[in-house]
Structure 1
Amino acid sequence: MSSYGTGLVIGKFYPPHAGHRHLIEVAAAESERVFVVVLGSRFESLTMEERAKWLGAEFASFPNVEVLIQADDCPVDYDSDEMWKAHVELMRSVLKGAGVGEVDAVFTSEMYGYQLAEAFGAQHVVVDPERRAHPVSGTLCRDDLNAAWPHIIEPARQGLATRIIVVGAESTGTTTLARALTDHYRSQFPTIGDVPEYGRLRTYEKLDELRRRDPRAGVEDLVWTTEDFSSIAERQNELENTAASRCPLVIADTDSLATELWERRYMGPHSFGAAEAAGNLPRRDLYLLTDHEGVEFEDDGLRDGEHIRPDMTEWFKDALTAAGHSWVLVTGSHERRMATATRIIDLILEQRSTFTSPPWATRTVLTGAMA
């Protein structure tokens, strides 16, 4: 039986991490219903909507947890009664909008929780103030996103990961570039994983299956179906998201958007097996499109599309532009392609790992390093 009727958890959740999850789990276990209020400032890099979406996904299986958002640009000064009242009234107002008039318990890991609970006439429940259960803080996450990655909640990792997708027509160097970029960034991101082109792996599988029935069969004898492309696109998304779960940098050798174009190549314009997966792409940072010009066609026994390479390059340009994606055509030698790619990726990584905060923001310093 719950100890409290209505519980309240407030915070920036900038970004949401395992300590936040523990705090909300405790509140949910001890309350009939819990309202999590995300307070976001215009001076912060992540929107409060993003943070609330990630928390909502993390607690989707908790029917008594509801996530609310409230813009809060009031400076923080715990010694100012006027500013403290301004913060409290923002919280009270967003709760009122959700139909909440009274709060029975305020759950925090911070000393200000006593003052906040008093303002609501509620009980203060302190949860792991020394961060022993989860030695992590928002400050540590913002200071070193790479090191903190395992401590960030899964939906936030999916949203925060920098995703670089390499695409292109047959035999234009996509796999070579994707592998070289992965190797290049491995020292900076030791947990970076390979995201291979699953369609190629599936081609090997289908060919092996066919040759067990007919040893003389070749790639030209393969029969593709709409269902094939649907499963390939879904699996490509899974591989990419698994890599994002492990590391804040993902470099993928193709994706489900590209699978749509390969489906068009082999099945014609009226086959839509990959459409659903391609319509549910995670956020992208950049597509690198490998140019067919200046690259010799290499027939490895699975390729038969030398004649269509120029057309497919145009298909990629059109599809990426129509979808509103950021993309760069990489041309020239492999060395020049790497130079182009790393130059822009380095800038994206710097931007994605920089978290801005208002001048009054405090830093949480924990005893000991993150586990």
Structure 2
Amino acid sequence: MLRVALTGPESTGKTTLSRQLAEHYQTTWAPEYAREYLEKHGPAYTLEDLEHIARGQVAAEEAAAAQARRVFFCDTDLLVIKVWAEHAFGQCPEWVKHRIQQQHYDLVLLLGIEIPWEADPLREHPNHRQYFYSIYHTELSSQMSNFAEISGSPQERLEQACFYVDALLAEKNRPAPLPTAV
């Protein structure tokens, strides 16, 4: 099962693109658990809330994986929790950092900030998207993650994402090379 995560700053189209990709590939996607949690508990959050959100995100990914075909998509990942925890509280729970090192995504799509900001009571930083984008880029680069930057219009984003996912699926379906005789 191939796992593809979408990550990046607020209001960059992660949810929309996750849905579109799941529909295109006729599979499942794990919604961003933070939205569900904060809609239920209110927009103010603590470090403890972020831990609950992280556990909920992991559970959402596991549920999506159980129903998926070939590939599934994660509308956000624990890297988002790490970045928010460090920004808001100056620290991130150790288990979240450990889980980030353990979890494996076959591909991470880092969404750019050029689409317009959409106001939402759960969004906090309309003027810091480039700052956060840089943090995500640095984190993914330092983890040596297989990631691709996605930008442009919503249609261009879908086309770029499909290009990378198609390449990933083709690679997975390629037969292993036969051993060569020495």
**Alignment of 1:206 onto 2:41:** yes
How far, CA to CA, are the matches of 1:348 and 1:232 in structure 2? 29
1:302 equivalent among 117, 122, 134: 122
Shift >4 Å, 4+ stretches = none
Question: What amino acid is aligned across from residue 12 of structure 2 in structure 1?
Answer: T
Match of 1:343 in 2: 163
Assess if the C-alpha contact under 8 Å between 1:233 and 1:277 holds in 2.
no
**Alignment of 1:333 onto 2:153:** yes
Assess, with a 3 A threshold, how the Cα gap between structure 1 residues 256 and 176 changes in structure 2: closer, same or farther: same
Assess if the C-alpha contact under 8 Å between 1:288 and 1:341 holds in 2.
yes
How far, CA to CA, are the matches of 2:128 and 2:100 in structure 1? 22
How far, CA to CA, are the matches of 2:98 and 2:168 in structure 1? 28
How far, CA to CA, are the matches of 1:271 and 1:165 in structure 2? 20
TM-score, reference length from structure 1: 0.45
Assess, with a 3 A threshold, how the Cα gap between structure 1 residues 232 and 279 changes in structure 2: closer, same or farther: farther
2:100 equivalent among 272, 278, 283: 278
Question: What amino acid is aligned across from residue 91 of structure 2 in structure 1?
Answer: H
Higher RCO structure (Cα 8 Å, ≥6 apart): 2
Whichever of the two has the greater Rg, that structure is: 1
Question: Which one has the bigger helix percentage?
Answer: 2
1:239 equivalent among 50, 53, 60: 60
Assess if the C-alpha contact under 8 Å between 2:109 and 2:149 holds in 1.
yes
Say how many residue pairs are matched.
Answer: 177
How far, CA to CA, are the matches of 1:320 and 1:337 in structure 2? 19
Spell out the pairing of 1:1-371 with structure 2 (5 A cutoff).
Answer: 161-186=1-26, 192-207=27-42, 219=43, 222=44, 224-247=45-68, 248-267=70-89, 269-272=90-93, 274-281=96-103, 283-293=104-114, 295-356=115-176, 358=178
How far, CA to CA, are the matches of 1:347 and 1:271 in structure 2? 34
TM-score, reference length from structure 2: 0.88
Question: What amino acid is aligned across from residue 202 of structure 1 in structure 2?
Answer: Y
Unaligned runs of 5+ in 1: 1-160, 187-191, 208-218, 360-371
> Tell me, what secondary structure is at the counterpart of 2:79?
helix
Assess, with a 3 A threshold, how the Cα gap between structure 1 residues 197 and 245 changes in structure 2: closer, same or farther: same
Deviates more, 1:299-308 or 1:233-242: 233-242
Question: What amino acid is aligned across from residue 5 of structure 2 in structure 1?
Answer: I
Identity %: 28
CA root-mean-square deviation: 1.8
Assess if the C-alpha contact under 8 Å between 2:85 and 2:91 holds in 1.
no
